Amino acid sequence: MASTSASKPVVIPQDFNSQLYTPLKEADPEIADLISKETWRQFSGLELIASENLTSYAVNEANGSILTNKYSEGLPGARYYGGNEYIDQLERLAQRRALTAFHLDDKTWGVNVQPYSGSTANFATFTALIQPQDRIMGLGLPDGGHLTHGAYTPKRKISASSIYFQSLPYQVDVKTGLVDYDLLEKNANLFKPRILICGGSAYPRDWDYARLRKIADSQGAYLMMDMAHISGLVAAQVQNNPFEYCDVVCTTTHKTLRGPRAGLIFFRKDKESDMETRINNAVFPACQGGPHNNTIAGIAVALKQAAEPEFKKYAVAVIDNSRAIADALVKKGYKLQTDGTDNHLNLWDLRPLGLTGSKVEKVCDLASITLNKNAVVGDTSAATPGGVRVGTAAVTSRSMGTNEMVIIAEFLHRAVQISLKLQKEAGKKLVDFIRAATEGNGEAKQELEQLHKDVQAFATQWPLPGILDTSAIKRPDILANGVNGASH
C-alpha cells in the first residue's frame, strides 16, 4: 500500500522537465535582472502615483503561489472542472472577508471576487444591469473621472463603456473644482441615464451619496459607485459610506486597499431577485474566463489585513499625509484643485506657473519621484494636461508620516523650480525640455542631479513592504545614462 506521507523527497527529474525546477535567477537571468532593477527603483524612489501602493510580504506570497496552476471556471460548488475543493474554500473565504472588511450583512450584500481588474468589474456591471446602447452618466475624464465611466473625445470613443453604451459625462464646477450636483441633476433630467456612476481617479474630495441617490431615483436609474481609489479608506470608515445608498459598488484591490491587482463587485441582493445571477453571469462567462486563483488568494490576505485595527490607523495616516503635502504646497503659493483634499490624493494645477504636467512628471521621474501628469478643470487639450496628481498611499505604506510629507513637498517644490529653469533654458517644446534635462550642462541640470541624490538618500532610509532585508537590494550596475545613470 502506498504511503500518503511525503517523508522522502521525490527526485527532481533530469529530463526535458528539469527546467521546471530551476530558480528564476538561473532559468532567466534577464527577467531576474529586471525584477532586481525594479526593486531598487521602488526602494530608492518616492512613489506618489495615487493609483499605486505597496503590497505586503504575505500578499506577494499568496499571489506568487502554486494556486496559479488551477483552472476553476464557474463559481464555488458549480465549476466546469474537477479538483476545486480547496479553490472553492478559498473563494468563499475571500467573499466572506470582503463583506467583513466593508462591514456588510451577507443577507443584504453579495460580492464577486473574480474580476481581473477594476475595468472588467465595471464593464461586467454594465453588462449585467443594462442593454447595449443604454445610457450612462459618470464624472468626465478631464474633471477627474475614469476612462471606464464612458470617456470619449469629439473624434474617438476611447473606452468600451462609450463604444457599447451612450454616455453623457457630468462635470465639476470650474471655480471650486467640486462636483456640480445641480448641473448633474439638470442634465440627468434631460439625458435620463439607466446607470448613474460616482467615483473618480483624480477627485480629491468625498462624495454626496444621498444627493446622488436622489438623482438616480428621479430617473429610475441604478446608482453605481466605483470606489477603486478610495476603497481602503471606505473599509477603514474614514470616508462617506457608498454602501448606504448604492445598488452596486465596484473597486480595484491594489490602490488604497493594498492588495494585488484585481477587482471586486459588491451588489445588493435585496434590490432585484436576479441581481446576483446577473452579476455572476456577466463576470463569467460574459466578460472573462477562469478566475486567477493566486490573485484571489492575495485579495483574501489583503482583506483580512483591511479588517484589522492597524489598517484603520494606516488609512487615517494616508489622509493626514495627503493633507500635510497639500498644506505645504499651498504655503509655498501653489494652486491645488479644490484647495485641498479629503482623501489620498491632491491635484496640483501647474498652469499659473506656465508649466505642463508632462514636464514636471519628467523632471520628477529623473529625480526618482514618481507621479503622473493629469488634466485639471478647464484644460483645453488632453495632450498637454495642466497638472499632476500626487498620492500618499504608497509612501504611507513605507511608514512615512506628516513630517516626511513636508520634506517630500520640498522635493516637489525643487522639482517645479528646476522645471521652470529648464523651460527658460530650452523653450516650450517638450522634446527640447527633455534634452536639456538629460543632455544639457546648464544650472538646472546640475540642480536636478543634486535633487536626485537627495531623494535617493532620503528614500533609502525607509523600509520597502514585501522585502524583509533591504540590505539585499542592490543598486543596478548601469552605465551612466541621462541625468544620473539610473534607468529612468
Residues annotated as part of the active site? 71, 73, 226, 252, 255, 261
Q: Return the amino acid letter for 376.
A: V
Q: Which three cell numbers stand for residue 229?
A: 481609489
Please name which of 345, 332, 282, 246 lies closest in space to residue 114, comparing C-alpha atoms: 282
- Using a 10 angstrom Cβ sphere, with 0-12 exposed, 13-18 middle and 19 or more buried, the burial of residue 16 is exposed
Residue 249, classed as helix, strand or coil, is strand
The single-letter DSSP state of residue 274 is: T
Residue 243, classed as helix, strand or coil, is helix
Please name which of 478, 486, 477, 475 lies closest in space to residue 438, comparing C-alpha atoms: 486
Asked whether the beta carbons of 130 and 165 are under 8 A apart, the reply is yes
Give CA–CA dist 419/363, Å, rounded.
Answer: 7
Q: Which three cell numbers stand for residue 452?
A: 536626485
Q: Which three cell numbers stand for residue 55?
A: 503590497
The single-letter DSSP state of residue 382 is: T
The single-letter DSSP state of residue 78 is: E
The single-letter DSSP state of residue 157 is: B
Give CA–CA dist 108/363, Å, rounded.
Answer: 49
Q: 193: cis peptide before it, omega within 30°?
A: no
According to DSSP, the residues that pair with 137 across neighbouring strands are 196
The single-letter DSSP state of residue 170 is: B
Asked whether the beta carbons of 373 and 360 are under 8 A apart, the reply is yes
The single-letter DSSP state of residue 338 is: G
Q: Is the dihedral of CA 403, 471, 313, 90 positive or negative?
A: positive
Residue 206 makes CB contacts below 8 A (sequence gap 6+) with 239, 240, 342, 343
According to DSSP, the residues that pair with 336 across neighbouring strands are 348
Q: Return the amino acid letter for 310.
A: E
Give CA–CA dist 23/436, Å, rounded.
Answer: 43
For 151, 322, 479, the CA distances from 140, given in Å and listed in that order, are 7, 23, 44
Give CA–CA dist 261/97, Å, rounded.
Answer: 17
